[in-house]
Amino acid sequence: MIDKVIGFALTQRLFVCFAGLVLLFGGLYAFHVLDVVAYPDPSPPMIEVITQYSGWSAEQMERAITLPIEIALQGMPGLTDIRSLSIFGLSDVKVYFDFGTEYFRDRQEVLNRLQTITLPQNVQPAISPWSAIAEIFRYEVIGPGKSLTDLKTIQDWQIRREFKRVPGVIDVSTYGGTTKEYHVDLDPGALLGFNVSLDQVIQGLTQNNADVGGNYLTMGAQSFNVRGMGLMRDLDDIADTVVTEKDGTPIFVRNLGNTSVGYRVRLGKVGIDERDDVVEGVILLQRGEKALPVLDRVHKKMQELNERRLPAGVQLKTFYDRTVLIHTTIETVIDVLIAGVLLVSVILYVFIGHLRTAVIVALTVPVALLFTFGIMVLRGESANLISLGAIDFGIIVDSTLIMVESIFYHISHKRSQGLTVPMHVMRAAREVGRPIFFATTIIVVAFLPLFTMTGVPGKIFAPMSMTYGLALTGALLMAFTLAPALCTLLITDKVEERDTWIVAWIKGHYLVVLRWALNHEWLVIGCAGVALAVAIVTVPFVGGEFMPALEEGNIWMRATMPVDISFEQAAQLATDVRLIFRKYPEVIDVASQLGRPDDGTDPTSFFNAEFLVTLKPSKEWRAAVPTKHALIEEIEKELAAIPGVNFNFSQAIQDNVQEAMSGVKGENAIKLYGNDLQQLEAEAAKIETIMKEVPGVKDLGTFHLMGQPNLIIEVNRKECARYGLQVGDVNDVIQAAIGGQAVTQVYEGEKWFDLVVRFLPEYRRDIDTIGRILISTPDGARIPIKQLATISEKTGAFIVYRENNERYIPIKFSVRGRDLESTVMDAQQRIAEQVTLPEGFRTEWHGEYDQLQEEKLRLAKIVPITLLIIFLLVYFVLHSMRDAVLVLIAVPFSLVGGILALALTGTHFSISAAVGFISLFGVAVQGALILISRIQDLVHEGHPMDEAIMQSAEVRLRPVLMTSLAAAIGLLPAAVATGIGSQSQQPLARVVVGGMLTSAVLILVVLPILYRLWHRRRDSELED
């Protein structure tokens, strides 16, 4: 089959070259339209159910709403976890499914289950549009002379609707501003004076605000629609509403209180830089959509709105745009790719010494990449920093390198045989075609641990494994088709192979070293063993983490304040923190989000403030602040002066991803499970105290469950019965008079706003005034609440966390200045020694640590299987069990350089580094196979052992060095890169660079010695 492919390429050279040009331009177009994202979404399919009911406490929300929803959603196909959060006025239930399930099918299943639930007060749950990487664009609505309410109204009723029309945008979430309401503030004295009850006012407003239809009426030749118009249009209509009449005199709403235009009780507030109160819009990406095309459409829509659609003076101003991060990431990848291609090309020319030959080999890189881009576009797949930046060009060019070198050797050494150049090319290609195929197969098999990754690592690295596989396929096609065709056109029969000066210099010194090593074999083996032992001893000191954080060019900081803090005090603190950030010259701007938006898509309250800090490029920073870590430490010291507030530092996308995966607002979390909220608080306090002493633990804090002050009005059923009242009668007055009740809506064109009835503020400001609120009895008497109920102050639950039918309390923390794995292991040991949990209580560690442990366990199973498959492939090529074992000995030696590279650069072991080690396996085995197979051939031809070793070493020096150095040099730019987007590449690249350098030396020096020792012992055994 291989011969037929090569034969076709040689007989149809022009067609193959034309196809190469088509691939070139098609690949360039594919790269232009290829969807590139900064970071893949690693979270599993997750459906979020949000239910709001203003006025209810966390425990009421849990009992009446969260629990029924959880029960209804259990037992769905593919369901893995149900996590919920109940807070004042909000229930948030997150439903997680297996990675293999289809998102929209899961969503429909959840919707079907929700239809079976009947919740109190006809409350309707809704599906949240939010996802981990959905927030792609943020803007501020500005309008000099416009009130916050006006700007919020424009945002809700015009801007939001326009952006939702953009294809690919699922929703627009609004933060900040004030939501317009019509208010009727009643005077209890006026109600008493006119003998009117609160219920009469509510019924009067409801019944006097309606339009009706009277069907149609035929008059003459025309048909008229009959309409009864009775909707309220403005404050005058509300004030002129008749509630009742007394002795023929109508009593209007204006007689009973004040009417006004106000705003809904605020749940959140946004500030940007020095502006304390602004309106913000957050555009959310539809799941599965491509970010860049959607962002392009968002930019056009924003320009259209600013130029001609918005009211005079109102403008939209961008302050977060995912486009910037994506383009910066693409630039980083392109810089690394170009540098890698150039370095590999230089290595090829230096070692081959023939420009046209080097150019043919170097063409493999763009051809393979363009082939990959084309297939990815056809399959509708996205590329990201990891999938593109992790491709090692040295590995990609190997197949073409072996093919072209063989062709070059045949043309230069066998001209006397009277064959044409195409004949030489065909003979050379047949000679190395099978080894090339097996070498590529071995590299692909080495990536088996990548292809089999599941869960979060699979979501992150699956695109990379697919990209690598496509690139290797493209390179293999290049080696079997385009490379032979180009060789017949560009390499004449007058070429002469000779070592370049650098190859000659290296070869001369190498052969001297090898002869010495063969004469001192046990000393060399001992040194190699020491190097391997040093690497093994170094492993525990390397440390571990799941993945290095992708640098986004921003800081996302969360401030967690006391749960009973007032809205006004929290808003002032948010302003103070923003001003602290503004003092640093590295900061471009800073925005604060206090509390939650009206739609409840960020389930929190105003004890929580989040800050998005946009940073300048690091090259513009002060010399005293060389890294982001140093900047954060400097900011932390100043923030430490604010008492009672816990701060947590992350990044915008990173924070959302971590919250989606663990259900907790923080990088890592300990979840303490139990049923008693008070006891959970007590045990969590013990754990937090211990965690404070663990080196490396930062941003430590417990999400407190208790501490919410409650004003409890406990209705006395017996007293109510004396006056003929129901408990609901009292509760209705409590809800409407104190909290306010939306009784109807007021329409303004296409907009509508709640009409809320409540008592004037002075009649509901404290326990005494609330106790004097009068309840109307059926016989017309007025009884104060304090005679019908007991009013007291009690502390209750502020928030209730649940996971899979259990309550829990989260203790969040970050790790800085130390690796994650050793920090968590240290903390686990201390907690196990110092804390004895009550019966029924347990802890679980969530976040990056548990993902790292799961992946290490999986790799411990799949890597041996991979090595076994590679061993079988090598055995199939060499037909020798002993030689196959010798080839695999290259694997541990290749790890030496990778481990030492991590240790010397202070890089922690991560899944990215594990991918680097996997890459090393394939290349190291390939290099060892090249050398051992040559020695084996010469021995079988009858050459003495030492002569076969020396000749093989001399002939195979160049290909082994070229493959190893090309692999190392190809990723050298990624290993030393520091720009945005380079962080996830660095561990992989550093492992490959270090491992390739040491494995080349060990393969060329140690492996020949082991081969001689192994076969000398076997020969001795045979002689005996």
| pLDDT value at 944 more than 80 | yes
Across 738-748, average pLDDT: 89
CA 305, CA 142: separation in Å to the nearest integer?
A: 13
- Higher-confidence residue: 780 or 52? 52
Bridge pairing between strands 382-384 and 35-37: parallel
| pLDDT value at 72 more than 50 | yes
- Higher-confidence residue: 963 or 67? 67
| pLDDT value at 510 more than 70 | yes
| pLDDT value at 68 more than 90 | yes
566 CA to centre of own chain: 33
Across 1014-1019, average pLDDT: 66
Residue whose tokens read 């990815």: 376
Q: Which of 304-308, 335-339, 583-587 has the lowest mean pLDDT?
A: 335-339
Q: Which of 111-125, 254-268, 483-497, 775-789 has the lowest mean pLDDT?
A: 483-497
Q: What pLDDT is recorded for position 662? A: 66
- Higher-confidence residue: 302 or 337? 302
Across 294-310, average pLDDT: 93
| pLDDT value at 995 more than 80 | yes
Residue spans of alpha helices (H) in 243-321 = 291-304
Number of Cβ within 10 Å of residue 688's Cβ equals: 15
Residues shown for the chain: 1024
Q: Is 533 helix (H, G, I), strand (E, B) or coil?
A: helix
- Higher-confidence residue: 340 or 605? 605
DSSP letter for 120, please: G
Across 407-427, average pLDDT: 71
Q: What pLDDT is recorded for position 830? A: 92
Q: Which of 519-523, 888-892, 934-938 has the lowest mean pLDDT?
A: 888-892
Bridge pairing between strands 751-759 and 180-186: parallel
pLDDT band with cut points at 50, 70 and 90 for residue 41: confident
- Give the architecture (CATH level 2) of 197-212+227-255+709-797: 2-Layer Sandwich (3.30)
pLDDT band with cut points at 50, 70 and 90 for residue 132: confident
Here the tokens at position 729 are 């009668």
The sign of the torsion formed by the CA atoms of 395, 399, 402, 408 equals negative
End-to-end CA distance of the chain: 45
Q: What pLDDT is recorded for position 1021? A: 47
Q: What pLDDT is recorded for position 661? A: 64
- Give the architecture (CATH level 2) of 554-650: 2-Layer Sandwich (3.30)
Query: HEC string of 206-242?
Result: HHCCCCEEEEEEEECCEEEEEEECCCCCCHHHHHCCE
CA distances from 620 to 571, 617, 627 (A): 32, 6, 11
Q: What pLDDT is recorded for position 178? A: 93
pLDDT band with cut points at 50, 70 and 90 for residue 657: confident
> Residues 197-225: pLDDT tens digits?
888 999 999 999 988 888 888 888 999 89
Q: Which of 216-220, 382-386, 906-910, 955-959 has the lowest mean pLDDT?
A: 382-386
* Residue pair 773/716 in contact by the 8 Å Cβ criterion: no
> Residues 228-252: pLDDT tens digits?
888 999 999 999 999 998 888 899 9
Q: How many CA atoms lie within 13 A of 312 on its CB side?
A: 0
Nearest to 815 by CA among 917, 1020, 668, 717: 668
CA distances from 836 to 773, 829, 843 (A): 50, 12, 11
Across 256-285, average pLDDT: 92
Here the tokens at position 407 are 């062709």
- Higher-confidence residue: 250 or 819? 250
Across 658-673, average pLDDT: 77
Across 371-392, average pLDDT: 77
pLDDT band with cut points at 50, 70 and 90 for residue 171: very high
Q: What pLDDT is recorded for position 232? A: 92
CA 654, CA 984: separation in Å to the nearest integer?
A: 13
Which residues have a Cβ under 8 Å from the Cβ of 189 and sit 6 or more positions away? none
Which amino acid is present at 638? E
Which residues have a Cβ under 8 Å from the Cβ of 870 and sit 6 or more positions away? 442, 445, 446, 888, 921, 922, 925
Q: What pLDDT is recorded for position 413? A: 67
- Higher-confidence residue: 711 or 979? 711
* Residue pair 538/900 in contact by the 8 Å Cβ criterion: yes
Here the tokens at position 793 are 């102050």
Q: Give me the phi and psi of 326, to 5 degrees please.
A: -65, -45
Q: What pLDDT is recorded for position 827? A: 92
> Residues 690-735: pLDDT tens digits?
999 999 888 888 888 888 888 889 999 999 999 999 998 888 888 8
The pLDDT mean for the chain works out to: 85
Here the tokens at position 857 are 């366990």
Q: How many CA atoms lie within 13 A of 668 on its CB side?
A: 25
Nearest to 681 by CA among 841, 817, 548: 841
pLDDT band with cut points at 50, 70 and 90 for residue 1023: very low
CA 82, CA 60: separation in Å to the nearest integer?
A: 19
What is the pTM assigned to this prediction?
0.80
Q: What pLDDT is recorded for position 1022? A: 44
771 CA to centre of own chain: 52
Across 883-897, average pLDDT: 80
| Domain span(s) for CATH 3.30.2090.10 in the chain | 197-212+227-255+709-797
CA 375, CA 677: separation in Å to the nearest integer?
A: 55
Looking at the DSSP bridge assignments, the partners of residue 251 are 244
| Domain span(s) for CATH 3.30.70.1430 in the chain | 554-650
pLDDT band with cut points at 50, 70 and 90 for residue 495: low
- Higher-confidence residue: 433 or 903? 903
> Residues 91-107: pLDDT tens digits?
999 999 998 889 899 99
- Higher-confidence residue: 502 or 185? 185
